[in-house]
Structure formats: structure tokens, C-alpha cells
Structure 1
Amino acid sequence: MSKTASMLAIWISLASNIVLTAIKIAVGFLFKSQVLIADGIHNAGDVIASATAYSAMRVSSKPADEDHPYGHGKAEVLGAFIVAIILGGAAIYMGFHSIHALFEPPGKAHIIAFVAAVISLIWKQILYVYTMRIGRKMNSKGLIATAYDHLADVYASIAASVGIGLALLGDHFELRILAYGDPVAGIIVSFLVLKLAYGMGRESFDVLMERSVSMAHIEQYAALIRSVPEVKRIDRLRAREHGHYILVDARLAVSGALTIQEGHDISRLIKKKIKDAHNDVDEVLVHLNPWYEDKQAAVPNR
């Protein structure tokens, strides 16, 4: 699956968010649906989020250069972090707007508002599955963030559908309390979206702070290194995420009697083994320390 597929997914997400924003805000104001207006504002934030993800993915796809020797992979992570902030802001806005609506006379629910919420629910669920599948396939932080953004919209649309549906039932059976289903649904939505934004923002922040990959991954890299018979000892092994790829840093002890050429060949073999076994590893930095059998120790790391 090529990078083109990722860019297409972002474009589809951006176009969809623009259309849904227009539909929800227009229908929400026409038929006075608080949750649909709030959801429409949330979608307006999604337009910015999708545009941010698209820009970040374009930057991250650039090759390494003199100023960025490790590439531009973190641009996607930064984009995902910005998306998380936008989601959090939208959630707070929705919550405030919905709580305020509880203290106002409830408006009359309309079937068109309910249909708009259901259409949004189905549309966003399809977009979530589509973007998440491509995002995981490409290990794209920006696209995965966009997929979670769609999932937040699924939650919002479910709550909107239920809230407007309850309000319709309240109008039909003259149960005034059910008319508040719309703003109550908006409060529930805001909480779910805020929780999702927190999780996504925390993950992005960890990558930006260069948190190490899991110990399970480190052990897998170590096993591959130990499979090379010339390696006497692993002095240090680290790995960190750099956007949609991983950088591995290994300090290894090999016989001090080896030639420079032999040491070079061992380093290349180790790099090949790790990169062949793990498609998400983009670079393996290998530093060799001399090891002598009589001393049973490597020269201290420098």
C-alpha cells in the first residue's frame, strides 16, 4: 500500500468533514438541535484537524536532509498532537454548550435533524474503518489520529441520534422530560471525546519526548543481534519511535582481532536482519566495542 493511499484517505476525510460540517450546522440551526449544532462545531474542528494531518503527512514523507538527518517523521506525531488539542477544545465547547441548553426551554425536535445525525453516524463509521485500516497498514500516526477523530464523531453521532430520538418520542407522547435528551446527549458526547483526545495527546507527547519502544520490541531486536555469532555481548540497546518509523541504537562487543572490514560487514548484517524482520525500523545505528577473551571485557563505551 503506497503513500498515495494515505494521502487519498486524508483528502476523503477532509472533504467529508467539510460536507458534514455544513449539513449539521445548517440543520441544527434550522431545527434548533443543540447537540447537532455542537456536533457541527466539532466537525468544523475536524476540518482543521484533517488539514493539519494532511500537512504533517506531506512534511513527514520528505527525505532526510542536511538540517534533518533523521528525516521528518515526527511531523506526523506533532500533527497528531495538534489534532488531540483540537478534539479537546471541541469537547469542552460541546460540554459547555450542552450544559447551558439544560437551563433553557427545550426546543421542538424534528425528524430531519434525526436523519442528519443517523447519516453522520453511518458515514463516520465507514470513514473510521477505512482510515484506521490504512493508517495501521502504513504505521501513519497522522492517519491513525484522523481515524480516532472519526471515531469521536461516531460517538457524537450515536449520542445525537439517541438524544434527538428521545426528544421526538417526548414530543409524540407529550413527555416533557425527554425533550432534554438532546442536550444531555451533548454532555455525554463531550466527555467521550475529551477522553479520546487525552489518550491520543498523551501517546503523541510520549513519542515527541522520545520514549523508548516497548521491552517486547527491544527483546526481539536483541534476539536478532544475538543470532549473529560474532557478537560477544550487547553493551547497550535502545530504540525510539520517530513518527511512522523506529530508530534503533546498538552498542555491541565483538572480537578486537577483527579487521575494520569484518566489523563493517557485521554491522551491515545486523542492520539487515533487524530491518528485514521489522518493516517499521528505518535506521539501525551500530557501534562496535572491542572484546578480548583473556580480559573478558570490552573497552569502556565512549
Structure 2
Amino acid sequence: MSTKRVVQAENAAWVGVVGNMFLAVIKGTFGWLAGSRALLADAAHSASDMVGWIAVLVGTRTAPSSDEEYAGRRKNAEYVGAIVISVLLLMLGLEIALSSLKTIYHGVGTPPSWYAAVIVLLTMIGKQLLAQYGKKPGRRLSDRLSVAGAWEGRSDVYSSLAAFIGIAGALAGSYYDIPQFYYLDAAAGLFISLLVLKTGYRLVAEAVNQTMDRLLHRDDIEELIRAVQCVKGVITVDDLKAKEQGHYVVVEAKISVNPKISVMEGSEIAKMVRHYLLKRFIHVSEVIVQVQPYDPGYPYKSSPEADADLYPTLLH
């Protein structure tokens, strides 16, 4: 992905973060003032959307340092932060669920204020505007953005509809003098809190998996290097990088071979390395091997005649 597209992706993620934070504050404030469990739960759902976009933002960021160890520590710190926020989100969802259950158990005496329904409708329009912004050309730039947007869109529909139905039903119960309908607001809050808990669990699981992958990354590379060194014809492994792509890994290796062998023999060694890694490591999806002649360097260089029998060829 080009630098311009990365910047556009980060901008889209920032809009998702700020937009959902604003909606969460509006819903939470008016939900508390109106006495609506459904609107409070919908505020928590917007907060879960915000955390999801923070995770996307972390995934699209690239560490500015060329120091891989520093970059790894920084990424791990970011994912640990995402875990902490996601756990807090789980606690918030659980608190709202318990509060809704207590309200249902002890009974509901009054419906929420009428403006709770207005706030739900206005915030639904705001969510649609955010969704349209994310669908503009040049902004749906990565799988993470697409997946986050798709999940957020489906979940938001359920959450907003549940909140509106719960609040409108409670208000209808007040208008037609049916007190039993007051429970619809608390029931909607309970349903939405379950959506929040599901989102929080998904974010925690994803962040934990990403953190564990990075913590084990160095050990994985060392194991891959040892495997390459076992292939006949490889003298040294000068460089090896493993890039994670979802649940799979792409390996880029630079090896040194006997400088006296032919280009075809060097190519055969590269093929052997590729096939060996793909066969031995089921999580490796692709291997790219760069072959170069081995150069012991000064002061170990000797005459060409002395080097002739130093390294055996692939065929001997």
C-alpha cells in the first residue's frame, strides 16, 4: 500500500474513532437524563465501535523507526493498550446488562422521556453519514477497514433498531396507559448490552492473538533460519524476514551458496529451500529466496585455485 493510501486509511480510521466517540457521549448524556436503559446501552455500543476503529488504526500504523526490536515493542504496547480498553468495554457491557436485569426484576414505574427517541433517530442519521464517508472512493483501502466497517454496519442496525423499538414501545405504553410496555426499554438495553459484550470479546481475542504472534516472532525466525541451514548447498543464511498475513506467514530469505556452481544449480538450491519450508511449516504460505555467491571476505580470501575444491557443488 502506498504512503498516500496509508494516510487515507488512517484518516478514515480517525473519523471512525472521533465520530463514534461523539455519538457515544451524546447518547450517554441524553440516555442518563431521559432515564433510558436502551439509549445508555446504545451509547456503550458506539463506544465499542470506537474501540474497533482504534484497533484498525493500530493495524494501519507503521512504526517510524527502522529498529525492528523497537518497532516490535511499540506494536506490543499498542496491542496491550487495545486489550485494556477492550476489557473495560466488556466490564461496561456487563454492568449495563446487570443494570437492565435489575430494572426488569424490580419493576419499571415510568417510561423514558420523549426526547430519547429523537436522539436515537438523530444518531442513526449520524451513523449513516459516517458509513457513507467510509464508502467513498479511496477510503475503503484495506481488509481491516472493510471487515471493521461491515461488522460495525450490521451491529449498528441491530443496536439502533432495538433502542428505537424499546424506547418507542415504552412511550406507547405511557400514551395508551399500558405499564407493561415500560419494560421494553430495559429489555432493549439488555439486548444491546449483549451485542457490546460480543464486540468486546471479539476485540480482546483479536488483540491477544496479535500480541502473542509478535512475542513469538523472534523465536519463529530463529527456527526458520535453522531449517534453511539444513538444506544441502546452503552455506550461510545472510538474512531472513517473516511477514505475517492473517494466519499465514510469508518468508523472505537471502542465502549464500558456492560461488563456483552454475546459476542453474543455485536456482535448484533456492527451490529446495522453498519446498522444504513449505512442507515443514504449515503456517508458511510463501517463500521467496534470493541467492548470492558466498564471500568469506578479507582476510580469509584465497586464490581461485584454492577455492576450487573448498565448496562442493550441488551435484558433488
1:60 to 62, 65, 83: 62
Segment of structure 1 superposing worse, 185-194 or 97-106: 97-106
Q: Does residue 27 of the first structure (1) align with residue 23 of the second (2)?
A: no
Residue in 1 that maps onto 2:231: none
1:180 to 171, 179, 183: 183
- Cα distance change on mapping 1:61 and 1:43 into 2, 3 Å: same
- Cα distance change on mapping 1:284 and 1:72 into 2, 3 Å: farther
The answer (yes or no) to whether the contact 1:125–1:154 under 8 Å persists in 2 is no
Residue in 2 that maps onto 1:157: 160
Structure 2 unmatched ranges of 5 or more = 215-240, 275-283, 292-311
- What is the alpha-carbon distance in structure 2 between the residues aligned to residue 78 and residue 136 of structure 1? 26
**Aligned letter for 1:249?**
V
Report the Cα offset of residue 97 of structure 1.
Answer: 2.0
- What is the alpha-carbon distance in structure 1 between the residues aligned to residue 178 and residue 212 of structure 2? 53
SS of structure 1 residue aligned to 2:141: helix
Q: Does residue 205 of the first structure (1) align with residue 231 of the second (2)?
A: no
Structure 1 unmatched ranges of 5 or more = 212-237, 272-280, 295-302
Identical amino acids, percent of aligned pairs: 27
Indicate the structure (1 or 2) with the bigger Cα radius of gyration.
2
- Matches of residues 1-302 of structure 1 in structure 2 within 5 Å? 2-44=5-47, 54=57, 56=58, 59-62=61-64, 64-68=66-70, 81-82=83-84, 84-102=86-104, 103-128=106-131, 131=134, 137-140=141-144, 144-145=147-148, 148=151, 152-210=155-213, 241=244, 247-249=249-251, 258-259=261-262, 263=266, 286=289
Report the Cα offset of residue 80 of structure 1.
Answer: 5.5
- Cα distance change on mapping 1:197 and 1:240 into 2, 3 Å: farther
Report the Cα offset of residue 242 of structure 1.
Answer: 6.0
The answer (yes or no) to whether the contact 2:9–2:140 under 8 Å persists in 1 is no
SS of structure 2 residue aligned to 1:249: strand
Instruction: Give CA-to-partner distance per residue, 1:148-193, whole Å, 9 cap, x none.
Output: 4565444332211110011122112222111110010111111122
- Cα distance change on mapping 1:158 and 1:263 into 2, 3 Å: farther
Report the Cα offset of residue 264 of structure 1.
Answer: 8.0
Report the Cα offset of residue 91 of structure 1.
Answer: 1.8
The answer (yes or no) to whether the contact 1:166–1:178 under 8 Å persists in 2 is yes
- Cα distance change on mapping 1:249 and 1:7 into 2, 3 Å: closer
- What is the alpha-carbon distance in structure 2 between the residues aligned to residue 169 and residue 202 of structure 1? 40
Instruction: Give CA-to-partner distance per residue, 1:185-212, whole Å, 9 cap, x none.
Output: 111111122223323433443343339x
